[in-house]
Structure 1
């Protein structure tokens, strides 16, 4: 079983592009529906560290839920624990696709970044 996990949303065109990209390259990954099973707090902490502590990069800032909750104004006042609790509680707040595994932590689909991160050693 793969230790690489791709959190994707079935109706997200960017997630579909990422899914197809991974499959074309023969990358072994387990897929999880980000809405039904959001990343865990531990996984979110791992991604946050990979992003250099930039919490805003974890959020789907163009999402309806993000806007409905007014998170653009609230996020600066939240600590890491509060921000990660929000994300772990609602996968629709998490920027996607979200790809995590040993030595790999990617959020959002950038083909060049994914190719570099997933290149054979």
Structure 2
């Protein structure tokens, strides 16, 4: 089963959800603000993806800017970054789509085609 962490008002999330539905892909819809992934879940997801933790931050989000994270992340440990991501779903780039084998962050149709079809 695919866990699809999204924010219902997010246009990118709606496009990704429509793509999954159009392709007949089964997924579990999770509201990223009401039920953000835990610190342990994020650690597993990030390790599975083999991407740097910075890729998981919603760098264009209001919360990211409010907290001044552009300048602060470089001086934070990975553990501190994980705690921060787990504390607020709006800090996580979305949609975050996760299965036992794969992880995608954001929505890129070509990447979805290769990963989730």
After TM superposition, what 4+ stretches of structure 1 lie above 3 angstroms from structure 2?
A: none
The 5-angstrom pairing of residues 1-121 of structure 1 reads 3-119=1-117
Structure 1 counterpart SS, 2:54: helix
Query: What is the Cα-based RMSD across aligned positions, in Å?
Result: 1.2
C-alpha separation between the residues in 2 aligned to 1:51 and 1:68? 27
| TM-score normalised by L of structure 2 | 0.94
Cα distance, 1:76 vs structure 2: 0.6
Q: What per-residue deviation string (whole Å, max 9, x for no partner) do you get for residues 20-47 of structure 1? A: 0000011110001111111122221133
The higher-RCO structure (CA 8 Å, 6+ apart) is 2
TM-score normalized by structure 1?
Answer: 0.91
Aligned length in residues = 117
Separation of aligned partners in 2, 1:101 and 1:62 = 25
Q: Which runs of 5+ in 1 are unaligned?
A: none
